[in-house]
Structure 1
């Protein structure tokens, strides 16, 4: 049952990555240059308070170095790439064991 849940959520996350890729592609065609939407910009548009709470949690719990060297580059990565990697990892976790 849990493998099914990982695969189900992984497919939905991959679908979100595909939608983000299509939106970036449409924006790129319209502007005649490559345009990507970073994860941080999308997160800030959806829930700015949660992003600031996440930053405070990471700096308080782990350290400011972790925020600077791990979280900031991930937040600057294209949304379709982050969602694609997360979806692929969920699908790998949910795969059936080799017989």
Structure 2
């Protein structure tokens, strides 16, 4: 029995999701190592919120995003403030999980008739 191959455009989108998931997981790993290093150096649990990481790396872009979302209080206050308060590695790990799930191809199982 031949398996149907997915169309090229679907396969490419799945590949793109998996690639973005891999890159997001790499960022999560880097942020986790930085937090672990700070924790060991301080001999206390130190986890940097995503807001601080973004402010140190991309200050102009973060200010632009904040200014743009201030016009939409339903998006800024309950959602973005909560996400930016989380540790960066958690946010990027969740993004990686969602992207991987979106790009995952389910295996079809066929029953063997006797």
Answer yes or no: same fold by TM over 0.5: yes
Across the aligned residues of Structure 1 and Structure 2, the Cα RMSD in angstroms comes to 1.2
- Aligned match of 2:103 in 76, 81, 94? 94
What is the deviation of 1:98? 4.0
Q: How many residues align?
A: 97
- Aligned match of 1:85 in 83, 87, 94? 94
What is the deviation of 1:90? 0.6
1:39-54 alignment, distance < 5 Å: 39-54=50-65
Rg comparison, structure with higher value: 2
- Aligned match of 1:72 in 56, 78, 81? 81
How many angstroms apart in 2 are the aligned matches of 1:23 and 1:42?
A: 10
Gaps of 5+ in 1: none
**1:21-63 deviation per Cα after TM superposition (whole angstroms, max 9, x unaligned):** 1111111011000001111011111121111211122122xx2
How many angstroms apart in 1 are the aligned matches of 2:102 and 2:85?
A: 25
| TM superposition score normalised by structure 2 | 0.79
Q: Which has the higher contact order (CA 8 A, sep 6+)?
A: 1
